[in-house]
């Protein structure tokens, strides 16, 4: 069954000359900085958050150009007369952000620059988030995934227990290990992401940005190419707002991909709170010969309020899925460091068999299905496309190898030997760096009510009174 269908499970499918799968922000920040250094015409940044103070490459001792995001963008605009930089940031996160150290100064400096434009995205329903993480350079190279260019994101794939480079901007306070992922694409796929980013800019600002001239190739220096000449789909979530009609391609893709799975579905997500996805999984768990499901989640959400909302919903959904899992094909894990410290999972990844890969901004929560703006990339292999299947299988092995403290080759061998993703993970798990089974906490009646009413995690816009008085139909009907 073909999963990727324009107009249903995705917006467009375009060819990418090159695709790179980037794991963790140390490699991403280095790559995006390298690509921006080669920009000739335009840099378009569309994101949930940007912190002007972050160090894009703590290991670079050269002083040829600034390393911190705000100073670096200003330097680029000053040194490249033909370059325009446009930055679009979610408006509700801005009040707090403006008081971060030098941020207010930097934004004021941009406001006076004739070729840097900074805008706030308020074109969303009340309480919704502009959740994209997109960078487009000359419409020739684009990055799209789950990594925000903000504080507390930088980490390497080693996820050391006490990495001295893992420090917050300005305060220099240490933060914990952080796992994330994004993609880089070139060619028509990058131009399509440029089209999407300009549409979002117009929706938020009313201004029309012209596409840049063609001809440049700002592919990051040293970034390995994982796939060449492959079709890439773009799936979006856009909530209804003003004249904008609702778009739920992200949700449709999740549901159809789960229904099409043959052997396994592998998720990495910051949350697990979507009823639609839980119900899709439950239907497959009912089948005696259905696929396995592996979900890699953080131990808990970042803040108390998020944990109350998302954590309670996760506990509720997993409890109900456990009752449906009669054949033992569902596992939820959380990664830990060599010193047993929990690694925060912020990546948004889905891998179905060896046939479909998606990486993007959407979480497995209700908001990502129809309330926040989201953008995911997906690739699908035909049954005879052995090269793409090999790349998808290799990426899953690379992710599991990072979590389990081993090599991708070893993971591939054990998965092949055991013929089961779950059996391979359990065989490779052990003390130190590993995946630990997640045990949902017991939640009280108030937390159950918060989860069931989805007040902080709605599927679509609704009033506060509607949220308080609304009752969800029973799960898994």
pLDDT tens digit sequence for 202-241 = 999 999 999 999 999 999 999 999 999 999 999 999 999 9
Q: Are residues 405 and 291 in the same domain?
A: yes
Q: Is 332 in contact with 422 (CB distance < 8 Å)?
A: no
Which 3 state secondary structure label does DSSP give 298?
coil
- For residue 254, give the nearest of 120, 351, 174, 133 by alpha carbon: 351
> What does the pLDDT read at residue 85?
97
> Are 69 and 94 in the same domain?
yes
Section 252-256 average pLDDT: 98
Confidence of residue 271 (pLDDT cuts 50, 70, 90): very high
pLDDT for 264 beyond 90: yes
Instruction: List all residues 6 or more positions away from 303 whose beta carbon is below 8 Å from its beta carbon.
Output: none
Closest CA to 81 of 114, 33, 34, 46: 114
Both 390 and 282 in one domain: the answer is: yes
Structural domains counted in the chain: 2
Same domain, 272 and 345: yes
Q: End of a domain among 198, 228, 258?
A: 228
pLDDT level of residue 420 (50, 70, 90 thresholds):
very high
Q: From 228, 247, 282, give the residue that closes a domain.
A: 228
Neighbouring CB atoms inside 10 A of 102's CB total 15
| Domain presence at residue 2 | no
CA–CA distance, 169 with 438 (Å, rounded to integer): 32
The reply to whether 26 falls in a domain is: yes
User: Does residue 31 fall inside a structural domain?
Assistant: yes
Last residue of a domain, one of 209, 228, 247: 228
Q: Is residue 477 included in any domain, yes or no?
A: no
Lowest-confidence range among 65-69, 141-145, 327-331?
A: 65-69
Does residue 6 lie in a domain region?
Answer: no
Contact call for residues 118 and 78 (beta carbons, < 8 A): no
- Give the chain's largest Cα–Cα span: 64
C-alpha span between 460 and 274 (Å, rounded): 12
State the DSSP code for 309: I
By residue count, the chain amounts to: 477
Does residue 104 belong to any structural domain of this protein?
yes
pLDDT at 75 over 50: yes
pLDDT in tens, 368-397: 999 999 999 999 998 878 999 999 999 999
Domain shared by 184 and 276, yes or no: no
Same domain, 409 and 379: yes
Least confident among 58-62, 307-311, 323-327: 307-311
The C-alpha atoms of residue 476 and residue 285 are separated, in whole angstroms, by 12
pLDDT in tens, 429-477: 999 999 999 987 765 554 455 545 555 667 767 544 344 444 555 555 5
pLDDT number for residue 335: 98
* H or E stretch at 141: strand 141-145
More confident residue, 288 or 107: 288
* pLDDT reported for residue 467: 46
Q: Cα separations (Å) of 87 from 43, 52, 66, 220?
A: 8, 11, 18, 20
Q: Which two tokens stand for residue 156?
A: 């390497």
Render pLDDT for 153-203 as a digit per residue (tens, 0 to 9). 999 999 999 999 999 887 889 999 999 999 999 999 999 999 999 999 999
The answer to whether 141 touches 185, Cβ cutoff 8 Å, is yes
pTM: 0.93
CATH of the domain at 199: 3.30.870.10
Residue 274 domain boundaries: 230-469
Separation of first and last alpha carbons in the chain: 25
């Amino acid at each position: 069954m073909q999963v990727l269908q324009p107009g249903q499970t995705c917006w467009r499918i375009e060819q990418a000359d090159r695709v790179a799968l980037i794991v963790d922000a140390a490699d991403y920040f280095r790559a995006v900085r390298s690509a921006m250094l080669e920009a000739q015409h335009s840099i378009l940044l569309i994101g949930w958050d940007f912190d002007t103070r972050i160090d894009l490459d703590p290991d670079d001792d050269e002083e040829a150009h600034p390393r911190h995001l705000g100073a670096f963008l200003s330097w680029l605009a000053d040194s490249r007369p033909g370059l325009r930089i446009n930055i679009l940031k979610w408006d509700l996160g801005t009040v707090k952000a403006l008081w971060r150290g030098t941020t207010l100064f930097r934004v004021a400096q941009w406001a006076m620059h004739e070729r840097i434009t900074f805008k706030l995205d308020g074109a969303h329903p009340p309480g919704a988030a502009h959740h994209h993480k997109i960078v487009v350079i000359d419409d020739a190279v684009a990055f799209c995934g789950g990594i925000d260019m903000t504080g507390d994101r930088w980490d390497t794939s080693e996820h050391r227990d006490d990495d001295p480079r893992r420090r917050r901007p300005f305060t220099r306070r240490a933060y914990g290990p952080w796992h994330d992922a994004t993609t880089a694409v070139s060619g028509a796929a990058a131009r399509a992401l440029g089209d999407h980013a300009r549409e979002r800019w117009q929706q938020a600002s009313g201004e029309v940005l012209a596409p840049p001239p063609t001809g440049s190739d700002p592919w990051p220096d040293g970034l390995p190419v994982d796939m060449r000449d492959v079709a890439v789909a773009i799936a979006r979530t856009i909530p209804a707002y003003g004249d904008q009609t609702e778009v739920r391609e992200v949700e449709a893709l999740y549901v159809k991909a789960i229904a099409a799975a043959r052997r396994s579905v592998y998720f990495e997500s910051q949350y697990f709170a979507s009823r639609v996805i839980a119900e899709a999984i439950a239907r497959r768990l009912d089948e005696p010969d259905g696929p396995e499901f592996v979900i890699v989640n953080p131990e808990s959400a970042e803040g108390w309020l998020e944990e109350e909302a998302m954590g309670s919903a996760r506990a509720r959904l997993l409890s109900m899925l456990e009752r449906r899992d009669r054949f033992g094909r569902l596992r939820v894990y959380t990664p830990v460091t060599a010193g047993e410290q929990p690694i925060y999972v912020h990546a948004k990844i889905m891998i179905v068999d060896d046939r479909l890969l998606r990486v993007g901004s959407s979480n497995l929560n209700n908001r990502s299905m129809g309330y926040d703006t989201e953008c995911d990339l997906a690739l699908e292999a035909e049954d005879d496309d052995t090269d793409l299947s090999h790349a998808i299988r290799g990426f899953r092995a690379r992710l599991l190898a990072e979590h389990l403290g081993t090599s991708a080759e070893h993971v591939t061998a054990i998965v092949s030997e055991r013929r089961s993703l779950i059996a391979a993970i359990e065989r490779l798990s052990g003390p130190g760096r590993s995946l630990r089974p997640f045990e949902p906490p017991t939640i009280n009646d108030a937390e159950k009510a918060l989860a069931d009413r989805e007040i902080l995690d709605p599927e679509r816009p609704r009033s506060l009174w509607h949220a308080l008085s609304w009752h969800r139909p029973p799960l898994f009907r």
